[in-house]
């Protein structure tokens, strides 16, 4: 199963062009949902206005090499390893889900566009990356959703309470989970049985919800967060401090009470 391109097997019943059009439609839905979200929240306008204001408060003009240094640090630390989430389970779960998803999406695009023609032979690496990516996404996503999300971890809500904010993570888990089950059942060669077809339909529906729901879900954070991290680190380096007052020049003494409980009330 791990070395079988599920989309190639699917060409026995679905023409590659349909799969390719489906992928392009999903990409178009991401663009549409993100643009609608930006227009609705006006966050990009706020972001640039804020950056302009911060520039005026800068105490230092950064040279090109200093800017490159800040940008590289942001890419390596803030973006590639989501350092914003600190050292711990939250960050580990996010990194698993993030890289799992990236592998799953890239290998999907490669297999659907390059290895679905009758004469093509898929190198083993692509289906392996697809399955491993899917499994990582399910593990990271479930870890986050069942144990770490704020409602459960900090607010003591039961794990089965589902709200609109869960749309993104649940749709993300569902796409990978249904995709892997579909691939497994299809690989079992069950002939005309219904099993793999049902999971293919679930896989398609989960994708429609994930990509069609960008406007309503947290999907677009994967574009906003890197921009915000770059802005934050530049503001720290040029002294504008995001228009915040300077740090207090006092000792960090908060009393013993601060040690009573691990901070988890976000
Ligand atoms: C393919 C890329 C990414 C995927 C699949 C992804 C996935 C997720 C998921 C599933 C959540 C949980 C959402 C929820 O609260 O229900 C999340 C939260 C979060 N993500 Fe991402 N993410 C991606 C990229 C990024 C990037 C690039 C950054 C930062 C630069 C980032 C920072 C965060 C932060 C700070 C949270 C809040 C975590 C928390 O509440 O504990 N993400 N992400």
The tens digit of pLDDT for each residue in 152-180 reads: 888 888 889 999 999 999 999 999 999 99
Q: What's the 54 CA to ligand 1 centre distance in angstroms?
A: 26
- Return the pLDDT at 164: 93
SS3 of 82, please? coil
Q: Which residues have CB under 8 Å from 217's CB, separation 6+?
A: 167, 168, 171, 210
Q: What's the 226 CA to ligand 1 centre distance in angstroms?
A: 11
Cβ of 213 less than 6 Å from ligand 1: no
What single-letter DSSP state applies at residue 13? T
Per-residue confidence at 266, pLDDT binned at 50, 70, 90? low
Cβ of 95 less than 6 Å from ligand 1: no
Q: Rounded distance, CA 5 to CA 187, Å?
A: 10
Structure tokens at 123: 């190198």
Q: Rounded distance, CA 55 to CA 51, Å?
A: 6
Cβ-based neighbour number of residue 235 at 10 Å: 21
Pocket test for ligand 1, best of 71, 78, 81, 82 (most atoms within 8 A of CB): 82
Q: Which residues have CB under 8 Å from 99's CB, separation 6+?
A: 133, 136
Q: Rounded distance, CA 229 to CA 245, Å?
A: 19
Nearest Cα to Cα of residue 9 among 179, 217, 260, 155 = 179
Higher pLDDT, 100 or 192: 100
Q: Which residues have CB under 8 Å from 213's CB, separation 6+?
A: 33, 167, 168, 171, 219
Higher pLDDT, 57 or 264: 57
pTM of the model: 0.90
Mean pLDDT of the residues in the chain: 92
Q: Rounded distance, CA 9 to CA 157, Å?
A: 43
Q: What percent of the chain has pLDDT over 90?
A: 68
What single-letter DSSP state applies at residue 247? P
Cβ of 222 less than 6 Å from ligand 1: yes
The tens digit of pLDDT for each residue in 66-125 reads: 999 999 999 999 999 999 998 889 999 999 999 999 999 999 999 999 999 999 999 999
Q: What's the 191 CA to ligand 1 centre distance in angstroms?
A: 40
Shortest-distance Cα residue to atom 18 of ligand 1: 94
Q: What's the 208 CA to ligand 1 centre distance in angstroms?
A: 20
């Amino acid at each position: 199963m791990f070395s079988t391109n599920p989309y190639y097997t699917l060409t026995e019943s679905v023409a590659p062009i349909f799969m390719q059009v489906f992928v392009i439609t999903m990409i178009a839905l991401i663009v549409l949902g993100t643009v609608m979200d930006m227009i609705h929240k006006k966050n990009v306008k706020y972001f640039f206005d804020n950056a302009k204001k911060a520039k005026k408060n800068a105490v230092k003009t950064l040279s090109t090499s200093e800017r490159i240094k800040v940008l590289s640090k942001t890419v390596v630390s803030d973006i590639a390893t989501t350092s914003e989430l600190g050292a711990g389970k939250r960050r580990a779960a996010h990194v698993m889900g993030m890289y799992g998803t990236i592998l799953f999406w890239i290998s999907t695009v490669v297999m659907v566009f390059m290895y679905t023609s009758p004469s093509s032979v898929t190198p083993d690496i692509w289906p392996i990356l697809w399955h491993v990516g899917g499994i990582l996404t399910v593990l990271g996503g479930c870890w986050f959703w069942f144990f770490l999300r704020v409602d459960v971890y900090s607010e003591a809500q039961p794990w089965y309470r589902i709200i609109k904010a869960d749309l993104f993570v649940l749709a993300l888990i569902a796409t990978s989970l249904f995709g892997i089950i579909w691939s497994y059942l299809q690989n079992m060669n069950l002939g005309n049985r219904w099993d793999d077809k049902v999971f293919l339909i679930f896989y398609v529906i989960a994708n429609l919800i994930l990509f069609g729901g960008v406007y309503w879900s947290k999907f677009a954070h994967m574009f906003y967060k890197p921009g915000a991290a770059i802005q934050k680190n530049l503001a720290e380096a040029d002294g504008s401090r995001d228009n915040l007052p300077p740090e207090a020049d006092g000792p960090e003494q908060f009393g013993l009470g601060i040690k009573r409980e691990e901070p988890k009330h976000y």
